[in-house]
Amino acid sequence: MIKKIKWFDLCLVGVLALMGSLLVFANQRSAVRNIEKIDVKLLSSNNHFITQEMVERLIIGQFPDSLTSSRKEIDLMLIENQLNQHPMIANSEVFLSVDGILSAEVSQKTAIARVINQNDSFYIDSEGNEMPLSEHYSAHVPLISGTLKEENKKSFIELLNKIYTDEFYKTTLTGIKINPDQSLVFTVRDYNYLVEFGFLKEIERKMDNYKAFVHYSKNDTIVKEYKNINLRFTEQVVCTK
């Protein structure tokens, strides 16, 4: 009985040693295996600022020797960091499969407005940061003109995000002019009137007032004669011809 137990132990040790050797051998072969393919998946469905080909070129640029690089030469963290530094990429995840496929899942930034000034033009993303224009895609967002003071930036980005995430405002408001005194004037898509929003105070109340005004005046033919819609007085909407 004792002899059988010893033989069993020896066999078990032998099997474990063989499995360990095979695992080490497989890992060594996997480490020297070349990258067979790059698979890029763009997770953002609404924006097309970057293409799969652009991301592939960014990834290949980090390879020591193009696609002939082996798995052990590829620094996944470095590739992710390089992708995340791109001004149109919000986040990326890069990983390798056992069959030599390098996969990248990329989320693009969301443009919520476009600034147009005399010397420059760029997008503003949902975090309030600047984004360059793209050769591949033009976002349908409000056009911003004028100069915003730094102390008003937080409230202004709050307003822009509200416009972008609300289907009514998103399809209605086409532009925002920032006056020197930091008051705002909106332009709209379907009418010739200007909307005096005023200063960046009581944003929610003013936006709700404008939405209510449009709802109740949509069947009123006189609305086409208005030249100015004033939202400065939060208790009422003042219209002038």
Asked if the model's pLDDT at residue 216 lies above 80, the reply is: yes
Contact 182, 152 (CB under 8 A): yes
Q: How far is CA 3 from CA 8, 9, 17, 37, 210, in A?
A: 9, 10, 21, 54, 91
pLDDT at 22: 43
pTM for the full model?
0.77
Tokens of 116: 């147009």
Dihedral, 147, 153, 158, 159 alpha carbons, nearest 10: -20
Which of 116 and 23 is assigned the larger pLDDT?
A: 116
pLDDT digits (tens, 9 = 90+) for 137-191: 888 999 999 999 999 999 999 999 999 999 999 999 999 999 999 999 999 998 8
Given pLDDT bands bounded at 50, 70 and 90, which one contains residue 27?
Answer: very low
pLDDT at 208: 93
Dihedral, 107, 153, 204, 238 alpha carbons, nearest 10: -130
pLDDT digits (tens, 9 = 90+) for 56-91: 988 888 765 544 455 566 788 888 999 999 999 999
Sequence-distant (≥ 6) Cβ neighbours of residue 53 within 8 angstroms: none
Q: Give me the domains of the chain, ranges plus CATH numbers.
A: 32-108 (3.10.20.310), 111-240 (3.40.50.11690)
Asked if the model's pLDDT at residue 33 lies above 60, the reply is: no
Q: Which of 73, 70, 92, 71 has its CA nearest to residue 81? A: 92
pLDDT digits (tens, 9 = 90+) for 94-141: 988 877 788 899 999 999 999 998 888 999 999 999 999 988 888 899
Tokens of 137: 């895609």
